[in-house]
Amino acid sequence: MDFSTLTEQLMGLGTGRWAIHHRAVQKLWAGEDVVMLSIGEPQLGTPAGIVDTAVESLRTGRTKYAIGRGEPALLEVIADRYTKRSGRVVGTDQVTFFPGSHTALYALCQTLLEAGDHILVPDPFYAAYEGIIRASRAEMIPVPLRPENRFHLEIDALEKALTPQSRVLILNNPHNPTGAVLSRDRVREVAEFCRRHDLWLISDEAYEQHVYEGEFVSPFDMEEFSDRIAVICSVSKSHAMTGWRCGWAVGSPELLDHLVAVSEAMMFGAQPFLQDATAYALTHHFDDLDHMIADYARRARLATELIAKSDAVTCHMPQGGIFVMVDVRSTGLSGDEFASRLLEDKLVATMPGESFGRSGAGHVRISLTAADESITTGCNRVIELAESLTS
């Protein structure tokens, strides 16, 4: 039987990047005491009020077909959110709901890119980006982020990566996996770069709420650039709703008209009861979530202080997000090799930096969603392995 060439291009881009994590899960199933620092899954359960809203919505019959763009009440909530944030009126014709920001990005790539187009992506990058981009038949052009600059995006690097076929730039800020947060001036420079070169800018704001140093700044809130910017976001990490798959895209009315055409070809409407729960999540305050984010910042300090005790490994305090990147290059091993040895010899699961692109090479990513005890044990074992290799 024949399959499309696209599937051949996509093979391994999903599960392949998570091979060490999957090995760790198999060890857990076999009864081994693995310290899991590989995945960004909040320990906190979804707040009860959000769950109750979804259950009540189910019970009152909110299980029918939904409107393709999204349920009106939720679109109003999201539009109001961006109106307040940007200081200008954002209408419901500028919003559409998706089953998570992953799906929103897929639809945007189908909307903005043709086969052979280039899309600039800061490297390291969120592991799912490459598969989503390849599915659009476009080519991903990595823009190196230097560890020596704490993985902050530099305009010179953008200029060097630019090609005549470049059409789109993805900006992930706060950045996964490195935790870098861009200053207001740098965000403006990036937006100006896109305007100067006639590029669309997709702003992935999944970690908007997770900033520990500096401030979150969105290019969409700068009105002079807003007509070329699409925001994607979700409640996955901000509200401990990873499995709910509730996200959205925001942009100009013209962009959204084209985006909805793609969305409706993919799926005609998402579950109304999930949209009701999302609207509730976005219009209520939850003390537990405040504590969760404070815990991430505290654990980031814990991890960086522990790593700083050794000369064999280094890391920077992340400015945001829920991960710490640990530099293991002094061991002479790649991130893949180090993470594999760490799992087999020390029973600690991390993500190798190479899973996120070439600029992540020689690093491993530690998740801050684990308990303090796990982070302490994991960091100490990282140091033990690194020192045994460098001595």
Question: What is the phi/psi pair of residue 299, to 5°?
Answer: -70, -30
Specify the DSSP class assigned to residue 32: -
Distance CA 385, CA 61 (A): 56
Distance CA 360, CA 180 (A): 13
| CB 276 within 8 Å of CB 62 | yes
- pLDDT, tens only, 292-326: 999 999 999 999 999 999 999 999 999 999 999 99
Q: Return the bridge partners of 166, or none.
A: 118
- Amino acid in the structure at residue 288: D
pLDDT at 383: 97
For all residues of the chain together, what is the average pLDDT? 95
Q: At a CB cut-off of 8 Å and minimum separation 6, what does 263 contact?
A: 68, 69, 96, 98, 107
pLDDT at 14: 59
- pLDDT, tens only, 160-175: 999 999 999 999 999 9
Model pTM? 0.94
Domains of the chain: 5-45+287-390 (3.90.1150.10), 48-282 (3.40.640.10)
- Amino acid in the structure at residue 364: V
Closest by Cα among 233, 259, 190, 191 to 82: 233
Q: Return the bridge partners of 315, or none.
A: 326
* Token output for 276: 């009701």
User: How would you label 10-45 residue by residue, b for 16+ Cβ within 10 Å and e otherwise?
Assistant: eeebeeebbebbebbbebeeeeeebbbbbbbebeee
The dihedral through the CA atoms of 373, 374, 379, 384 has a sign that is positive
pLDDT at 79: 98
Distance CA 238, CA 234 (A): 8
Give the mean model confidence (pLDDT) for residues 213-218.
Answer: 94
* Token output for 179: 């935790």
Closest by Cα among 194, 291, 190, 200 to 240: 291
- pLDDT, tens only, 248-304: 999 999 999 999 999 999 888 899 999 999 999 999 999 999 999 999 999 999 999
Beta strands in 225-276 (DSSP E): 229-234, 247-250
Distance CA 387, CA 341 (A): 13
Closest by Cα among 261, 266, 208 to 237: 208
- Angle, CA of 384, 389 and 391, to the nearest 5°: 90
Strands 139-144 and 118-123: parallel
Distance CA 98, CA 102 (A): 9
Distance CA 351, CA 364 (A): 6
My answer on whether omega of the bond before 318 falls inside 30° of 0, hence cis, is no
Distance CA 361, CA 198 (A): 31
- pLDDT, tens only, 103-152: 999 999 999 999 999 999 999 999 899 999 999 999 999 999 999 999 99
Closest by Cα among 186, 172, 73, 174 to 126: 172
Question: What is the phi/psi pair of residue 342, to 5°?
Answer: -60, -40
| CB 107 within 8 Å of CB 249 | yes
Question: What is the phi/psi pair of residue 100, to 5°?
Answer: 95, 160
- Amino acid in the structure at residue 115: A
